[in-house]
């Protein structure tokens, strides 16, 4: 079967896909997150490699049915898990259009309007941060690549010779700082940059679960006296475990005193810059040298869409630019080629889904979205204060709630086991999903409001299910 379907077949397949997607979106407010536990399977598929292919309509119908009927549905309103949203429908349409047009964003000459849309989207985001000029950035595959890029920018700014000569030319061990609650992509990035994962210093958090600026400064000074080379501190705007936002003003002061690059991992929480009402949640983010933002988290676009922003645009080219004679250059172009400011070379257009969502819905839709989810979070936290079996483990900052079973009799190991059993019991029927985790060394249950479809009724059903799960699990223990 040839790849070039005729128009009638293309249209039939397209309409069929739209019907499947429309039915799916319609189901999301009440769809189960996954199959019941006794129906889930995790084995490998063992189909033989197709030699001649099959009827395209039948294949499309089958894969849509199988993925929907047997899938794990993070877009469902009852998904209270990690930072995986219900994607906007305009985001879905943008992804389909990008897949069809297949723009190549390595150079302006080969992408033109696609690159200009991306740069406009970067400008919109940088302006919301509070940067009016002298900024740059690029879309990435997600927060991991964006955080890697932020550390690479920091390394290039402090040790420019290392780009060509390697980290051995630095003359000492470079050191980067993050809190004990910061994301583990920092460990991975330190290893990939060649400075080693042990170059990441984990700074203790205070009783608010924020990085302790005093202990940060003490560690920087101690490393300096020991001959190490501190070069970057990473503040987090919305930790994965708890949604905590570090005191970026205080951390920026430490960075200024010690000439450190300040990178903000705002993969989740930096989206608050789109809210006028709640902008103060990320106070001080404008002081950062670079910022990670993941639109595929709180801004509700499909995977994958990360962003690295910086107010030092020339450092982007210092860190990432490589000359290549086969790369076309647009005559008279004043805009940067993406390949010169990014870890990637060939790259798809990850910006259109956010750009189209903003064009159709506007920033004020995000204002309402963020405000509504924060209100729902406060509502759930208020319920915990009245709950028979549960209590808040920490006051919520964004839309993540940490809570725990009420007990004065359990040690840490027993508490962790009980939380795991409650999460397993609650998710057994597949209707909804929460998780358990470790925050500052202590076991907690974790829920997050991330879907724009989630309403108060979903929280009420979750509350009923949690109380039932607690009764079931504690009765077994007795």
Q: Which two tokens stand for residue 34?
A: 């996954």
**Whether the predicted pLDDT of 326 surpasses 80:** no
pLDDT higher than threshold 80 for residue 40: yes
Token digits for 67? Answer: 């993925």
pLDDT digits (tens, 9 = 90+) for 349-381: 999 999 999 999 999 999 999 999 999 999 999
3-state secondary structure of 446: strand
- pLDDT of residue 95 exceeding 80: yes
pLDDT of residue 105: 80
Residue 174 forms beta bridges with which residues?
Answer: 229
| Phi-psi domain of 238 (left: phi exceeds 0; alpha: psi -120 through 50; beta: other) | left
Per-residue burial over 231-263, b if 16 or more Cβ lie within 10 Å, else e, is bbbbbbbbbbbbbbbbbbebbbbbbeebebbbb
Question: What is the DSSP code (8-state) at residue 112?
Answer: T
* Helices first, then strands: H and E counts in the chain: 14, 11
The mean pLDDT of 215-241, rounded to a whole number, is 97
CA dist., res. 77 & res. 467, Å (int) = 20
Q: What is the pLDDT of residues 388-417, one digit of tens each?
A: 999 999 999 999 999 999 988 888 899 999
pLDDT for 333: 64
Backbone angles phi, psi at 433, to 5 degrees: -145, 125
For the chain, the distance separating the N- and C-terminal CA atoms, rounded to the nearest angstrom, is 64
Q: Cβ(292)–Cβ(266) under 8 Å? A: yes
Closest to 446 in 3D by CA, of 201, 177, 202, 181: 181
Backbone angles phi, psi at 162, to 5 degrees: -65, -20
The count of other CB atoms within 10 Å of the CB of residue 478 is: 4
| Residue 473 token pair | 């699990």
Asked if pLDDT for residue 344 goes beyond 90, the answer is: no
User: What is the rounded average pLDDT of the residues 432-454?
Assistant: 96
Q: H-helix or E-strand containing 63?
A: helix 56-70
> Are 295 and 353 in contact, with CB atoms under 8 Å apart?
yes
Report percent pLDDT > 70 for the chain.
Answer: 97
Q: Is the pLDDT of residue 60 over 90?
A: yes
Nearest to 50 by CA among 61, 59, 40, 62: 59
Q: H-helix or E-strand containing 393?
A: strand 390-394
- Decide: helix, strand or coil at residue 202: strand
User: Which residue matches tokens 């210093």?
Assistant: 201
Length of the chain in terms of residues written: 478
Backbone φ and ψ of 271, nearest 5°: -60, -20
pLDDT of residue 324: 72
CB 290 within 8 A of CB 310: yes
Q: Could you tell me which residue, 115 or 425, shows the higher pLDDT?
A: 425
- Answer whether 277's CB lies under 8 Å from 217's CB: no
Cis, peptide link before residue 367, omega less than 30° from 0: no
Please report where in the chains the tokens 């379907």 appear, as a residue: 5
Q: What number of other Cβ atoms are within 10 A of residue 229's Cβ?
A: 17
* Residue 265 near residue 143 (C-beta atoms within 8 A): yes
Across the strands, what pairs with 292? 265, 308
Q: What is the pLDDT of residue 332?
A: 63
pLDDT at 106 over 80: no
Give percent of the chain above pLDDT 90. 83
Whether this prediction's pTM lies above 0.85 is answered by yes
pLDDT at 478: 60
CA distance 272 to 130: 12
Sole residue written with tokens 């705002």: 266
Give the number of other CB atoms < 10 A from CB of residue 55.
Answer: 10
Q: Is 78 helix (H, G, I), strand (E, B) or coil?
A: coil
Mean pLDDT (whole number) for 91-100: 96
3-state secondary structure (DSSP) of residue 42: coil
Return the CATH class of domain 363-477.
Answer: alpha beta
Cα–Cα dist 403/443, whole Å: 9
For the four alpha carbons of 397, 199, 82 and 276, in that order, the dihedral sign comes to positive
Say if residue 111's pLDDT is above 80: no
Q: What are phi and psi of 68, to 5 degrees?
A: -80, -45
Q: Which backbone phi and psi does 304 adopt, to 5 degrees?
A: -115, 140
Q: Report whether 254 contacts 407 (CB < 8 A).
A: no
Q: Residue range 6-16: average pLDDT?
A: 96
Place of tokens 């479809």: 453
| Domain edges within the chain | 7-30+35-71, 363-477
Helix (H, G, I), strand (E, B) or coil at 441: coil
Residue 336: pLDDT band by 50, 70, 90 thresholds? confident
């Amino acid at each position: 079967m040839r790849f070039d379907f005729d128009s009638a077949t293309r249209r039939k397949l397209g309409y069929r896909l739209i019907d499947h997607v429309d039915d799916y979106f319609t189901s999301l407010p009440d769809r189960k997150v996954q199959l019941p536990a006794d129906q889930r399977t995790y084995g490998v598929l063992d189909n033989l490699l197709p030699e001649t292919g099959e009827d395209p309509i039948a294949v499309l119908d089958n894969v849509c049915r199988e993925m929907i009927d047997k899938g794990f549905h993070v877009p469902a309103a009852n998904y209270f898990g990690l930072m995986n949203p219900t994607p906007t429908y305009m985001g879905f349409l943008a992804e389909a259009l990008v897949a069809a047009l297949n723009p190549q964003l390595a150079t302006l000459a080969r992408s033109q309007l696609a690159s200009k849309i991306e740069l406009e989207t970067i400008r919109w985001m940088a302006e919301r941060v509070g940067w009016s000029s002298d900024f740059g950035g690029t879309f990435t595959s997600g927060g991991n690549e964006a955080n890697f890029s932020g550390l690479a920018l920091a390394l290039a700014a402090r040790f420019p010779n290392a780009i060509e000569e390697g980290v051995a030319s630095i003359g000492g061990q470079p050191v980067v700082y993050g809190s004990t609650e910061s994301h583990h992509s920092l460990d991975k990035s330190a290893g990939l940059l060649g400075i080693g994962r042990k170059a990441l210093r984990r700074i203790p958090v205070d009783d608010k679960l924020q990085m302790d600026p005093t202990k940060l400064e003490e560690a920087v000074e101690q490393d300096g006296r020991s001959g190490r080379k501190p070069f970057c501190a990473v503040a987090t705007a919305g930790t994965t475990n708890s949604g905590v936002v570090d005191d970026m003003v205080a951390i920026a002061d430490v960075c200024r005193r010690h000439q450190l690059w300040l990178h903000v991992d705002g993969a989740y929480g930096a989206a608050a810059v789109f809210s006028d009402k709640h902008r103060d949640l990320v106070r001080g983010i404008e002081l950062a040298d670079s910022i990670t933002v993941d639109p595929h988290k709180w801004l509700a676009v499909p995977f994958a869409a990360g962003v690295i922003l910086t107010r030092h645009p020339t450092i982007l080219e210092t860190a990432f630019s490589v000359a290549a004679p086969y790369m076309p250059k647009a005559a008279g172009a004043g805009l940067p080629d993406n390949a010169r400011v990014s870890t990637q070379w060939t790259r798809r257009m990850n910006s259109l889904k956010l750009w189209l969502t903003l064009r159709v819905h506007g920033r004020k839709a995000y204002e309402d979205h963020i405000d509504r989810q924060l209100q729902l979070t406060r509502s759930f936290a208020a319920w915990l204060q009245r709950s028979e079996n549960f209590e808040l483990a920490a006051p919520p900052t964004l839309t993540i709630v940490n809570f725990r079973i009420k007990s004065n009799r359990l040690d840490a190991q027993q508490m962790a086991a009980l939380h795991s059993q409650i999460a397993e019991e609650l998710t057994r029927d597949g209707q909804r999903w929460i998780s358990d985790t470790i925050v500052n060394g202590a076991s907690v249950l974790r829920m997050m409001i991330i879907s724009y479809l989630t309403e108060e009724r979903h929280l009420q059903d979750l509350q009923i299910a949690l109380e039932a799960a607690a009764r079931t699990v504690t009765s077994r223990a007795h």
